[in-house]
């Protein structure tokens, strides 16, 4: 199967662009992207676990979840949904936080816009644009292995979609 994974960095715009194709209809990819029980199966690297504390998938709602390392250390993430176009697009603001959703650091935030497009043959293309307030935050994501991490988690999503 061709996944056509694309990862591009636009330092001038402080953005990361990601695109990936899946051999599943938009409705199925959308559910895997928006339902906690499915999200938790692919949103973190293998051998890590994801635990959702709060999921309010509405505009203004939040997703508060932990990425738990194999050693049991929890890294909390807070995402607030700023726009939702059912089955087509999700926009959110994300940051690292504590278990209560309070920012760990003042800033740094990332703004994520994800679109879902139907392709021929019951396939779906997702496109994500992550925008950062500071170039230093973009650099932090890149140095932390974001490219490899997103490629790996999207491959895990393939497994979830084929189950």
CATH architecture label of 6-46+81-95+106-162: 2-Layer Sandwich (3.30)
Which residue shows structure tokens 């994501």? 141
Write the CB contacts of 81 (distance below 8 Å, at least 6 apart in sequence).
Answer: 56, 57, 58, 59, 60, 61, 62, 63, 90, 91, 92
Domain ranges for the chain: 6-46+81-95+106-162
Distance CA 8, CA 16 (A): 6
- 49 three-state secondary structure: strand
User: In this prediction, what percent of the chain has a pLDDT beyond 70?
Assistant: 97
pLDDT higher than 70, residue 2: no
pTM above 0.85? yes
Strands 62-68 and 74-85: antiparallel
Q: Please report which residue ranges of 17-109 form alpha helices under DSSP H.
A: 26-34, 36-39
State yes or no: pLDDT of 107 exceeds 80: no
Strand 49-55 to strand 74-85: parallel, antiparallel, or no bridges (unpaired)? Answer: unpaired
What is the C-alpha to C-alpha distance for residues 37 and 58, in angstroms, rounded to an integer? 17
Digit-coded pLDDT (tens) for 77-100? 999 999 999 999 999 999 989 999
How confident is the model over 15-46, as pLDDT tens digits? 999 999 999 999 999 999 999 999 999 999 88
**% of the chain exceeding 90 in pLDDT:** 85
């Amino acid at each position: 199967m061709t996944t056509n994974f694309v990862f591009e960095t636009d330092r001038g715009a402080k953005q990361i662009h990601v695109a990936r194709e899946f051999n599943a209809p938009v409705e199925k990819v959308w559910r895997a992207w928006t339902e906690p029980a499915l999200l938790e199966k692919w949103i973190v690297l293998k051998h890590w676990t994801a635990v959702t504390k709060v999921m309010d998938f509405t505009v203004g709602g939040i997703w508060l979840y932990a990425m738990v390392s194999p050693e049991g250390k929890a890294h909390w993430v807070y995402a607030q949904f700023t726009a939702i176009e059912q089955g087509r697009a999700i926009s959110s603001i994300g940051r690292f936080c504590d278990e209560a959703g309070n920012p760990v650091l003042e800033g740094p935030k990332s703004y994520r816009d994800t679109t879902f497009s139907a392709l021929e043959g019951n396939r779906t293309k997702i496109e994500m644009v992550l925008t950062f307030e500071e170039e230093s935050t973009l650099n932090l994501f890149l140095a932390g292995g974001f490219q490899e991490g997103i490629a790996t988690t999207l491959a895990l999503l393939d497994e979830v979609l084929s189950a």
